[in-house]
Structure 1
Amino acid sequence: MECNHNELSAKIARQTFAVACVESAERSALCCSHQGHLYDVIATFSAVIQRRIDIGKRFRDNKLPRWPYTLDVNESHVLASLGFDIASANMTLDDPVIEGSGSFYPFSKGQLPPEPPLGNMEYKLKLIPVNETRRQHLSTQLKWRLKEGFGEAIYEIGVRDDGKVVGISEEDMRISLTTIDNMAKSIGAEILLTREFLHNGKHVAEVVLRRLPDNTDEFVDFRIALLGNVDSGKSTILGVLSSGELDNGRGKARLNLFRHPHEIQTGRTSSVSREILGFSIDGQVVNYRVSDTSEEILQQSFKLITFTDLAGHHKYIRTTISGLMASKPDFVMLVVSALVGCNQSTVEHLSLAAALRLPVFAVITKTDCCDLARISKVIGDLTALTQSTDLPSDLAAVVQTEDECLSAAYHMACGAMMPIFTVSNVTGQNLNLLTRFLSMLPCTVATKARELSLREPAEFQIDKCYRLDGVGKVVSGILTSGTISPGTTLALGPSFSGGYTKVLVKSIQRSHTPCQLVRTGQSVAVCIVLDDEGFRIRRGMVLTDIASPLNSCLVFEAVLRILCDVKVITKGLQGTVHCGYICQTAVVTDVDSQEALSNPLERFVKLKFIKQPECIRTGDRFVFRHGRIKAIGTVGLVMGLDGPVF
């Protein structure tokens, strides 16, 4: 039988697309095995297996799976489809807390979810080593939990394995804390007592254990993007956090973040700027107040957060979307001014974050300029806005005590809630809660998903290119898969014609510190030596493994999910595609009209770059923008260019 090559290629691409959809669910399953998840990880994998079967059944008419199958597993749907009781599954969370009067984690109810078999959470009624065998068992168990949490573990003392909060005597608690402290010291870890309280007259405690990695190459930094309306205080709060000094009320804290004279004059960000914030192993802030350089911050930090400050004014929306997609954030910090409140920009930014499936926490600034009634109204408006998105509107909660920070961090990372902070950059009100929350962000969220990509071929997306005297050509960006080390030979491209050239990795620096190995998710600068010195490097190119298939795409199919009121996407429409560091105009060459009738929010389209080929892959997420039209897309069939690669 004669085989049609194009049909075979299309089927292979669509199968790859389906696998990418399921891998997204598998990554969610791996990331949910810690405090605050809504269902057991075993149930999640059962759902993943079921999704593999369902996706195979739902291929029809040679089309890609529709939009819902490209998203992560919906927790309520999974539980219902597997026969779980939704009400009992939600027992890990308290009732909605809008005024901040309740507790995020239901210790007060006397019942936690059962201890997860995987992850970094451990329940112990008490820790009293009666003999050496018991002591060794406890130490081995601690090492396992630290490994699962990538250097971080959480112990709930006074809690049974079934989640029942029992409590113990004061003497047993003292012995238990001493035991866990000795265990931690024996393996080079530190403990942080985050909460201790009485339950029915007996003691209950929550302890975080942290162990530094063997070298700085193993650090995994979180990436947080700042979104919000113009004049909401994004740059100011980032300046306060990174410098450790309060603002004077006239924008002093934000000056170090501005890159252009007009930004200083207007006080408005028009470009993308980045700052780092570290936390020591005992949870203390490591910023420029205690360290002189970024190298020192990196060396002294257990956790490192890279903030991306994005423009808030609507005329810089192209820069904002490009910066958001390029930075590949793990979380979004939505900044809202208490003076202005929520407006159209807030709605757009919140919708964009929700469509990209990014966990969101909100920070209401300038509370020193408003009364409590005004602040309460802004909180109510912000909570109401989440009802039009996929965010958990019924679990938007104000964090008011340090005891709530750990639970809020884990619930937010799971997508189960949106914490809200009310702060003042002038008086410093509640900034301690925000920094405490940031220090408690779980390592597993950023790390486990990236660990899945370590086995894949290396792919480094290029942001900028420099030529330094005495060094040579240097490219900066993010490693999206695999690993890179000095001495590695990679392929650089695609060029204007779709070709690649060989390069040698000469050296690597991370936060101005030399390193010998780069892992998935890390932002670094790479010094390279090109075989073809005349090869022109541009933003959006990739460094990739020579052994992997080299991709030069000019035309591709995609599913678009429309985010705005304008639903018309027609053949011939030109819009900007933002995919990682790629930012190029593409034209819609074909639209599936039947798909538009069946679902007005989705379009099955074919797009063509108008200038040059790019390296995109099946399953990649992107933003398509044209005027008021904004859509989130998922790449389907990729049509590569024919011809020689090198």
Structure 2
Amino acid sequence: MASIFTFDPDPPRVSSPWSISESSTPQSTLAGNRLAIRTCSSATLRSADHDSLSDYGISKLDPEPQEGPTEYKLHLLLRPRRLYTYMSTGHVVAGSYHSRASVSTSFPTTPSSYETAMKPQQTRSTHSRQERLQHLTTQLLWRLQQSSPFHSSTATNNLVLPLLPDMASQSDAPQRPARLLPGLEESQGALYEIGVADDGTFVGLTQDELEESLGNLQIMAGSLGCKMDVLRRVVVGECEWEGDSVESHIEGLWVAEALVSPDLDYYRAAPKEGDASGVEKKPVSEDDHSSTGQIRVSITGPSIAGKSSLLGTLTSSSLDNGRGKSRLSLLKHRHEISSGITSSVAQELIGYSGDSSDTVDVINYASGNVAAWDDIHAMSVGSRLAFVSDLPGSVRFSKSMLRGLISWAPHYVILCIPANCDDGTASGSDSKPAEQTTEIDLALSYLELCIKLEVPILIAITKMDLASRAGLRNTLAKVLSVLKLSGKKPAMLPVSGSADKVAGLQRIGTVEGGEVKKVIDAMAGDTLLTVPIALTSAVDGSGIEKLHAFLRYLPVPAKPSLRTIDLSKAQSQPPTGNVFDIDEIFAIPPSKVYSISSDQTSKQNQGVVLCGLVRYGAVSIGDTLVVGPLLANPHWQHVRVVSVRNLRLPVRKLTEDQVGTIGIEPISQSDEPPPHLSRIRKGTVLASLPDPVPLHTGFVATFSSSEFASAESPPLLLGGNAIVYIANIRTAVKVTCVELAENEVISTPPSPAEPEFFCFDGDPDRGQINGDSRERRNADIQKAIDSTDAAEDVHITFSFVTSLEWVEIGSRVLVMPGASTLASSAPLSGSGPGGLSGLEGFVGRVRVVI
């Protein structure tokens, strides 16, 4: 599934292999999902403070799982083990690093042979010891990430490597990193079975070896910002060995189980004066967020334009077979695969590396060592990331399309228009030219909508492998005509040669990159005026390299085009705090949530992850914010941020204009009822706003009178309902007032509760009378709008029908009158009733909030 959010509904449990009943060890408690563990001091192992193997009734554990948070280790020593003359647990299992022990169960080993065997191993360098410690720490990090349910975490570029125990004992050597390693906030921990072979055989360690192994595990855990607790230690046998004085020593063989988990209490506590830990807790810095340039692009167009196939080729560098093979990895639902029509928004990440003046490599799933978005982040550092959304094309799913086009605030839109949708085929052929004409009209409706929204456009003429010369000419003529009427300047790119089509799937050459740079330089910073046009095909690869070049070199606007606020006529300024627009909500079962709060009191407080865009400021782990408006009282809930992801990359902070996911937990206030995060919905915000936070029941929007001048505009009825899109808000509104030129005000029609709406048998048909009056009123409105000067504005008042919202003055608003009716009654790929495509709407600005 292609999505910004990844969640494993059933991640591997931190379940002890010692538990015969398969219950988790340690057990989860109700209070804050804390882990109830039997902690034992690892400073000293006393004979009275241990278990015996006979207490468990088992002879070995199940084999070590290849994946999951459980790791078996014979030992964690950085030195070779001693030789034993006898071990009751049998021979030492081979294959472990530094395991050179030789055991004889039937005859003693002479001192000379012992010394001969040990001398070559004592010369191992400090360098190799450090390498082993680093390898073990990386392995521990991977096991910790295995129990994280929220997101994949594969990149380890920020790993703080530990020092050797003798070096770490110095007073100036920090024992912990300044901050918890990003990606470990919601880890449930990792279990280490020390003294156990990979097949589950109990081998055991002597007391000093076990102590040293636990000490090294403590150093490894500390370097990752984690803590270690010993859950159990068990005597599994005994051994005999000879010391330097040829004196026999008989000791017990021990195995231990230790839990390594994030030390959230330590990082949550404020630093104290005279803290001897040596940790400097620095404020959030630039190192805590992704500094790689990011561009957001939405791909839109008719359903037959091949948008998903084009994105599949861009992300996998594999050509399509003409039947949608390259798009299969993007589709989320079974009906999308069977019908070939996308109904949801799919999102993918593409990276670019290399000097912009030389050949640039494309980083996608075809690149080496790339298995997830985290790997794309790691290989694209210092260059560019392209976050691409594939939007539905059918007007039946216009709600999802408009939400992806507006809520995600793309920097650019790639409008896909099939080259064969207007090839002028004879009416008697099988290609049905009437339907093709409908598709080109729908494509032009998409183009007009993007122009209205003032989003920079890049037109991709797709399916060039199927295009005829006449059809391509007709399609380009209609596209250029719309651009000319809109005052846009088209920039046609030359067709690529056949020799470099396949090579362009994985790199951007100097020739193709140079052609794209010329077009970008000609824009002179005005991305709205110039509309590049590229001819592409996902089947033969033509134009793919140019699209990669555009994604790499297009300038990122300082502000998203859909969020540019014009406050020349506004009555208030935008908030100075943090605002995170919420577009998706994911609830996580409590058993999967590792909360940093120890006062969680209700089972209803499930973990919640929010997806969206940072409109203003920045959001960091530990911030205390409010989320709302909620459909409850109070309308705003205080929460704490517990985890942050930037396009699946674990970070400490999301900065302005970055897309990501944020995990939150509720904060109970003394004067508030118990929190209910389940009431968070799309269209709300996570913000630090002044208290009390305002709630709005409606707004007044300003439209240019030219918006209503077209004969093809849908009717906007006074007293009627419409759907509005404002930032991340999509909701139903009612038109209550229209203010025309010269302050002419037309109010809402009478309320349905008034007596004139009631009639009896014998009374005149008041419904017909009121209907005629309403039609005359709307006719008067349209007549007044038509007579208004095109340079003047029309002010329309809307009231929210079902909810309260938080609306920012100056925001762009898209009003879709009767959009749901048009979309539902429209055919699968065609126009709605009355010649309308279902994409017609009015674009304005919020002038006043109510």
Q: TM-score range by the shorter chain?
A: 0.5 to 0.7
Listed as ranges, the gaps of 5+ residues in structure 2 are: 1-285, 423-438, 496-510, 566-572, 595-606, 668-673, 743-784, 819-835
The yes-or-no answer on 1:436 pairing with 2:533 is no
The answer as to whether partners of 1:457 and 1:548 remain within 8 angstroms in 2 is: no
Indicate the SS of the match to 1:218.
coil
Change (3 A) 1:521 1:607: same
The yes-or-no answer on 1:237 pairing with 2:310 is yes
1:398 — aligned with what?
493
1:560 — aligned with what?
703
Which residue of 637, 658, 663 corresponds with 1:527?
663
The yes-or-no answer on 1:541 pairing with 2:541 is no
Q: CA deviation at 1:570?
A: 3.2
Change (3 A) 1:633 1:229: same
Task: Give the residue type in structure 2 aligned to 1:437.
Answer: F
- CA distance in 1 between counterparts of 2:519 and 2:486 reads 20
2:646 — aligned with what?
510
Change (3 A) 1:441 1:353: same
- CA distance in 1 between counterparts of 2:722 and 2:699 reads 14
- CA distance in 2 between counterparts of 1:454 and 1:604 reads 21
The yes-or-no answer on 1:470 pairing with 2:593 is yes
Q: CA deviation at 1:443?
A: 4.0
Change (3 A) 1:443 1:633: closer
Deviation per residue, 1:322-352 (Å, 9 max, x gap): 2211110100101010111462222221111
- CA distance in 1 between counterparts of 2:344 and 2:307 reads 13
1:330 — aligned with what?
411
Q: CA deviation at 1:356?
A: 1.4
Which residue of 458, 464, 472 corresponds with 2:578?
458
Change (3 A) 1:465 1:585: same
Indicate the SS of the match to 2:620.
coil
Deviation per residue, 1:222-280 (Å, 9 max, x gap): 11111111110111100100111111111001111111111111101111111111111
Deviation per residue, 1:512-547 (Å, 9 max, x gap): 221112111111111111124324111111011144
The yes-or-no answer on 1:365 pairing with 2:446 is no
More divergent stretch after superposition (274-283 vs 481-490): 274-283
2:378 — aligned with what?
299
Which residue of 534, 548, 551 corresponds with 1:421?
534
Q: CA deviation at 1:220?
A: 3.9
The answer as to whether partners of 1:539 and 1:582 remain within 8 angstroms in 2 is: yes
- CA distance in 2 between counterparts of 1:450 and 1:605 reads 21
Task: Give the residue type in structure 2 aligned to 1:279.
Answer: Y
Change (3 A) 1:599 1:408: same
Aligned residue pairs total 425
The yes-or-no answer on 1:377 pairing with 2:474 is yes
The answer as to whether partners of 1:551 and 1:616 remain within 8 angstroms in 2 is: no
1:287 — aligned with what?
364
The yes-or-no answer on 1:622 pairing with 2:817 is no
The yes-or-no answer on 1:344 pairing with 2:441 is yes
The answer as to whether partners of 2:620 and 2:652 remain within 8 angstroms in 1 is: yes
Task: Give the residue type in structure 2 aligned to 1:353.
Answer: C
Q: CA deviation at 1:424?
A: 1.2
Task: Give the residue type in structure 2 aligned to 1:461.
Answer: D
- CA distance in 2 between counterparts of 1:430 and 1:636 reads 43
Q: Percent of aligned positions with the same letter in both sequences? A: 27
- CA distance in 2 between counterparts of 1:407 and 1:426 reads 27
The yes-or-no answer on 1:607 pairing with 2:798 is yes
Q: TM-score, normalised by structure 1?
A: 0.62
Change (3 A) 1:331 1:319: same
Indicate the SS of the match to 1:376.
helix
Indicate the SS of the match to 1:240.
helix
- CA distance in 1 between counterparts of 2:444 and 2:562 reads 28
- CA distance in 1 between counterparts of 2:810 and 2:395 reads 29
Q: CA deviation at 1:445?
A: 4.9
Change (3 A) 1:542 1:437: same
- CA distance in 2 between counterparts of 1:450 and 1:319 reads 19
Alignment RMSD: 2.7
2:277 — aligned with what?
none
Indicate the SS of the match to 1:381.
helix
- CA distance in 1 between counterparts of 2:703 and 2:299 reads 25
Indicate the SS of the match to 2:547.
helix
Change (3 A) 1:410 1:519: farther
Change (3 A) 1:396 1:440: same
1:7 — aligned with what?
none
Deviation per residue, 1:451-482 (Å, 9 max, x gap): 99999310001112222312422111111111
The yes-or-no answer on 1:598 pairing with 2:788 is yes
Task: Give the residue type in structure 2 aligned to 1:584.
Answer: T
Q: CA deviation at 1:319?
A: 2.1
The yes-or-no answer on 1:572 pairing with 2:653 is no
Change (3 A) 1:515 1:576: same
- CA distance in 1 between counterparts of 2:291 and 2:559 reads 13
Task: Give the residue type in structure 2 aligned to 1:285.
Answer: V
Task: Give the residue type in structure 2 aligned to 1:504.
Answer: R
Listed as ranges, the gaps of 5+ residues in structure 1 are: 1-212, 640-646
Deviation per residue, 1:107-149 (Å, 9 max, x gap): xxxxxxxxxxxxxxxxxxxxxxxxxxxxxxxxxxxxxxxxxxx
Indicate the SS of the match to 2:841.
strand
Task: Give the residue type in structure 1 aligned to 2:337.
Answer: I
1:221 — aligned with what?
294
Q: CA deviation at 1:506?
A: 1.0
